[in-house]
């Protein structure tokens, strides 16, 4: 299934593919054939990139699941204005990962912010602070947490569906980032983390850890 967020790109690419396919049959030449090959390759990539799989949710009472597919590239202690002392778990999404983000725990949306910034490579740790990003602040009965959607060098479009005061469930669609990017989940300092740097995670299925509250 193709994500609705990708149709703004997939549909024009598909029409371009149709047009150049017809042109290659009517007046074949090297330039048209080369252009058709490029468009065909890009269309296959777009279909693959904008896939939107349905996921079986692996969740227990106090467990937070990964909000995105990717690789854990950083786990660090930090401080947060609202939450105080926290741990930040960073997930890098390459262009080959599913770029859907899901709500990782049954929650209430407290706040949403969008901050403009730079576009460093999402695999760099400074991207967590410097890059353009959206930050969603969630409340639960066990503790609060945040999810950052962070743009990368290629990604220039962050989509977020969270609205303050809404109640959301684990596995709900949180948003989508077009092309390479990064997702940080900010958890309380006493949160028990069950993943390590280098681990590959799957949204809705990999357990990142559990609240101690």
Burial of 10: CB neighbours in 10 Å, binned 0-12, 13-18, 19+: middle
Query: CA dihedral in degrees (125, 173, 109, 202; nearest 10)?
Result: -40
Reported in sequence order, the residue ranges of the chain that DSSP labels E, i.e. its strands, are 63-65, 70-80, 84-93, 100-102, 107-115, 133-139, 145-151, 158-160, 167-168, 173-177, 181-188, 192-193, 200-201, 207-210
Residues β-bridged to residue 201? 70
Is 24 in the active site? no
Q: How far apart are CA 39 and CA 12, in angstroms?
A: 11
Q: Is the dihedral of CA 121, 125, 130, 132 positive or negative?
A: positive
70-80 and 84-93 as β-strands: parallel, antiparallel, unpaired?
antiparallel
Of 90, 128, 134, 181, catalytic: 181
Catalytic residues: 181
């Amino acid at each position: 299934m193709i994500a609705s967020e990708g149709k703004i790109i997939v549909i024009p690419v598909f029409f371009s593919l149709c047009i150049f396919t017809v042109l290659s049959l009517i007046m074949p030449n090297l330039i048209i054939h080369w252009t058709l090959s490029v468009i065909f390759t890009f269309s296959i990539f777009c279909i693959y990139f904008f896939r939107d799989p349905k996921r079986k949710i692996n969740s227990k009472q106090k467990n937070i699941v990964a909000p995105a597919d990717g690789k854990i590239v950083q786990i660090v202690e930090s401080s947060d204005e609202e939450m105080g002392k926290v741990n930040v778990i960073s997930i890098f999404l390459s262009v080959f990962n599913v770029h859907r983000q899901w709500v990782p725990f049954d929650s209430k949306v407290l706040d949403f912010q969008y901050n403009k910034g730079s576009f460093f490579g999402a695999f760099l740790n400074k991207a967590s602070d410097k890059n353009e990003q959206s930050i969603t602040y969630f409340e639960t009965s066990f503790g609060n947490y945040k999810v950052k959607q962070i743009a990368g060098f290629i990604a220039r479009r962050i989509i977020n569906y969270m609205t303050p005061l809404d109640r959301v469930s684990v596995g709900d669609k949180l948003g989508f980032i077009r092309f390479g990017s990064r997702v940080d989940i900010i958890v309380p300092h006493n949160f028990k983390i069950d993943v390590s740097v280098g681990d590959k995670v799957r949204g809705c299925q990999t357990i990142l850890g559990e609240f101690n509250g």
